Chain A
Amino acid sequence: MKPLVRSLLTSALILATGSAAAQTLRIGYADPVSSLDPQLNNYAGDRSVALHAFESLVSRRDNKTLPGLAKSWKVIDDTTWEFALRDDVKWQDGTPLTADDFVFSFERARNVPGSVASYAGSTRTVESVKAKDDHTLIIKTRTPNANLLPDVDSIYIVSRHAGADASSADYNSGKAMIGVGPYRFVSYVPGDRTIFERNDSYWGAKPTWDKVDYRFIANAANRTAALLAGDVDVIDKVSPTDVERLRNTPGVNVYAYQGLRALIIQPSFREGPNEFIRDNAGQPLPENPLRDVRVRKALSLAINRQAIDERIMQGTVTEANQWMPANTFGYNPDVKNIAYDPKQAKELLAQAGFPDGFQLTVHVPGDRYPQAPEAMQAVAQFWSRIGVKVQLEVLPWAVYAGKANKNELAVSVIAWGNGTGEAAYALTNILTTVDSSKGQGASNWGRYSNPLVDKALVDSTAEFDEARRRKILQDSVKVVSDDVGIIPLFHYQNIWAARKGLKVEPLVSDRTAATMVTELP
């Protein structure tokens, strides 16, 4: 009891002194941070924490590209871009920001020692980055890349003078933590918290908070409890099971926004027998039935997506019929919601030669995607009803990812983030034919392959006309949908909760940063 009493007392104290320290913002966030080095790993947690101290060439809001450290840019020819940089930006130690820092940052981002999830993908088309003068930057690409802006947005800019000899450890210790962002680094305790203070020399609007206490709270129930106890002011990734409770709590505001992340089932297209697909007697089937479009279609039609939304996700997701959510670049409005039709699903299975179904083992990671094991248990129910007897295996991410990557599974599940906010990102990574030399299909776990989809990626990357590029992407959505190359389930909402008086507005996808939180008048 002692610690509980103490924590209650502490929170009461914090509440009591709240007004005096009103300018401190305490955030409880969910994604683990591997390092403060903004270029080490492309992880959600790392990117969120970096958002406080670092910025990039452009900025993105509501899936649109806006000026950032570059005031403006122009395309000189298909492969040459010129960026006019702001000349009033200073590093937090007072040194002026120059084009040379950008040259250094792009060099470093390609190869940071110790990286396990590098930014190489974002620089894959970049051939060279050169400073024309102190405030003009020239980027040349190998091939025409209409998507360069979202790509370069991923690269945080670090300083040459503090970062030239710095390792990732120097960022963690604070030695190299000199950015141009709205908040200045104070201290970092790995696995616990990072403290920032306001950067008074920030070039943009004056940052809202004097001090930011950015705390890692891994467990969703613990985050909710911390908010209710007054230990933190804002929490992110609120568990769907807690949303109702928080909405009904006076003194708490819940902010839910349509997110970009989709939960997607990837059926395996591997030829020949698969140990996870068996006939009703338990013998592996000689041929993979998932290669038959009728079987894939049956599996998709058998799922009652509305029931999953309402009963499992408690209304915190929207049904998906394609990988992008509505009103995004490349979303195809002609592809309609997938009807729940178990009768037609059974007919399709019968036509494909499986009137009595078959046995299928489905794998899902248990520690990665919110509520994915629960959603997949419901999918298993629906599939069982059309005769596909499902065994569901929940694996730790570390084990799952290895197997999924090698296409060892029959059915895998991915929650694809669509981080750039446009359809080509998923095309590149989960839908095009796997080809590591082209940087294609890195997470295409089912090995879906259709030449039309591959062509759509090539065409859309080279197409600088927005309307035409949109059309190419939309057509590829139709192709994948007709093939049932993937079985989309739903799009997650991004949910934050804050104490009354605070407003949370999303910045980029599901990242969480102090810049997103403002005081309500």
Chain B
Amino acid sequence: MNAVQKVLTTRVCLQAQSPWRRVAVEFMNSPTAVVGLLVLLAIVLVAVLAPWIVVQNPYDLMQLNVLDARLAPGSANMDSGYTYWLGTDGQGRDLVSAILYGLRISLWVGIGSALIAALIGTLLGLVSAYAGGWVDALLMRLVDLLLSFPVILMALMILAWLGKGVGNVMLTLVLLEWAYYARTARGQALTESRREYVDAARGQGIGPWRIVVGHILPNCLPPLIVIGALQIARAITLEATLSFLGLGVPVTEPSLGLLIANGFQYMLSNEYWISLFPGLALLITIVAINLVGDRLRDVLNPRLQR
């Protein structure tokens, strides 16, 4: 059996399975990606279950005690005696609790904004591709405009106008990110709409809306999923950046970025834990998401398949 034949048989075998099953199998072929996925699942799990596993609600001022501020990792709580395994921040917040709650905000903002942006961006991209003409021109110039601005600068401008808060941060991220999905969806849809199956559908008298959603969209999904995975990581980083700059969440409800920012001033006085541990949590989350996203890009991109 020569090499060409071997490739062909593998292809045939894979095509016999459902395409998503093939993706799953290929994904699992990379140990690093599997590790990334497991870590990510673990992070999501502890973040979702945070209120039931932490010793303290770090956002409830009643449960904080400023007398416990800046305690080193392993110190005991003054009132009820539980241990601050990762120490406390400048307000006496247990860092384990604060990090888990911070992860909740990060994931919620990251995934939430990525999903909404994906929905809006994809829809506008498809409309742009299918409608063409001035609608296409208008939408794509708008996308060009958005993509040409530095992201942080745009985010600062939008947030300065909207004001702080988790909702506004999400809105800002959606406003900034839909353009990526729109550009990709449009490109993909333009290619797909010239395929025979679209002509065939049109020939059968199927309405344009159904063709777009029912026929073109499913074939545009793989690159959009890849962008989605990477955009989640980007959104989490951006939220952390904005909070670090003081434009994100309220100070009494710190996300990871704000925890890092708050600890920054203590770095020179050797109280490293306030910034370090939230930073590590952020780092691990982003790396895990990126590992998964990278692998998805490999397995979903037909051009990279051998």
Closest residue on chain A to residue B62 by CB atoms: A384
Write out the residue numbers on chain B whose beta carbons fall within 8 Å of the beta carbon of A384: 61-62
The 7 residue pairs across chains A and B that have the minimum distance between CB atoms: A384-B61, A311-B69, A378-B66, A245-B269, A381-B61, A241-B265, A384-B62
With A366-B246, A378-B91, A381-B61: A244-B269 Cβ-Cβ less than 8 Å:
yes
Name which residue of chain A comes closest to B266, CB basis: A241
B65 lies within 8 A of A381 (CB): yes
Query: Which B residues are closer than 8 A to A by beta carbons?
Result: 61-62, 64-67, 69-70, 90-92, 164, 246, 250-252, 264-271
Say yes or no: B252 contacts A311, CB within 8 Å. Answer: no
Docked-complex contact A245 and B67, CB < 8 angstroms: no
Q: In the assembled complex, which residues on chain A have CB atoms less than 8 Å from the CB atom of B62?
A: 381, 384-385
Number of A-B contacts (CB under 8 A): 66
Knowing that A381-B61, A391-B250 are A-B contacts, what are 15 other residue pairs whose CB atoms are under 8 Å apart, sorted by A's residue number?
A: A242-B268, A242-B269, A244-B269, A245-B268, A308-B66, A373-B251, A374-B90, A380-B61, A381-B62, A381-B66, A381-B91, A384-B61, A392-B250, A392-B252, A394-B246
Interfacial chain A residues near B67, Cβ < 8 Å: 307, 311
Closest to B69 in A: A311
A180 at the B interface (CB under 8 A): no
**Residues of B with C-beta under 8 A to A242:** 268-269
In the bound assembly, the distance between CA atoms of A253 and B167 in angstroms comes to 47
A221 touches B69 (CB 8 A): no
- Tell me whether B268 and A241 are in contact (CB under 8 A): yes
Q: CA–CA, A220 to B64, complex, Å?
A: 27
Q: How far is the CB of B55 from chain A (nearest CB, A)?
A: 17
1/0 per residue A14-50: CB within 8 Å of B? 0000000000000000000000000000000000000
Provide the residues of chain A in CB contact with B271, threshold 8 Å.
Answer: 241
A245→B92 contact, CB < 8 A: no
Interface residues of A (CB under 8 A from B): 220-221, 224-225, 239, 241-242, 244-245, 304, 307-308, 311-312, 366, 373-374, 377-378, 380-382, 384-385, 389-394
Minimum distance in angstroms from B204 CB to a CB of chain A: 56
Q: How far is the CA of A490 from the CA of B85 in the complex (A)?
A: 32
- Distance (whole angstroms) from the CB of B205 to the closest CB of chain A: 56
Q: Are the CB atoms of A224 and B66 closer together than 8 Å?
A: no
- Neighbouring B residues of A220 by C-beta, 8 Å: 265
- Give Cα distance in the complex from A312 to B251, angstroms: 15
Rounded to whole Å, the gap between the CB of B167 and the closest CB of chain A is 15
Contact A374 B91, CB 8 Å, known A225-B268, A385-B62: yes
- Give every chain B residue within 8 A of A381 (Cβ-Cβ): 61-62, 64-66, 91-92
Query: Does B61 contact A311, Cβ atoms closer than 8 Å?
Result: no
Q: Can you list 19 contacts pairing A with B, beta carbon distance less than 8 Å?
A: A221-B265, A224-B268, A241-B269, A241-B271, A307-B66, A308-B66, A374-B91, A381-B66, A381-B92, A382-B66, A384-B61, A390-B61, A391-B252, A392-B250, A392-B251, A393-B164, A393-B250, A394-B246, A394-B251
Closest to B66 in A: A378
- Cα–Cα, bound, A473→B70 (Å): 40
Q: Smallest CB–CB gap between B75 and chain A, Å? A: 13
- Report whether B90 and A221 are in contact in the complex, using a CB–CB cutoff of 8 Å: no
When chains A and B are docked, how far (Å) is the Cα of A304 from the Cα of B68?
A: 13
Instruction: Tell me, rounded to whole Å, the shortest Cβ–Cβ distance linking B195 to chain A.
Output: 52
> In whole angstroms, how far apart are the Cα atoms of A425 and B92 in the complex?
37
List the A residue with the shortest CB-CB distance to B64.
A381
List chain B residues, Cβ under 8 A from A244.
269
Q: Which residues of B contact A392 (CB under 8 A)?
A: 250-252
User: Which residues of chain A are near B270, meaning CB under 8 Å?
Assistant: 245
Query: Which residues of chain B are within 8 angstroms of A245 by Cβ–Cβ distance?
Result: 268-270
Instruction: List chain B residues, Cβ under 8 A from A377.
Output: 91, 251-252
B70: nearest chain-A partner, CB-CB: A311
B281 to chain A, nearest CB (A): 22
Q: How far is the CB of B57 from chain A (nearest CB, A)?
A: 12
Q: How far is the CA of A392 from the CA of B253 in the complex (A)?
A: 10
Compute how far the CA of A392 lies from the CA of B91 in the bound complex, rounded to whole angstroms: 13
Q: How far does the alpha carbon of A9 sit from the alpha carbon of B65 in the complex, in Å?
A: 45
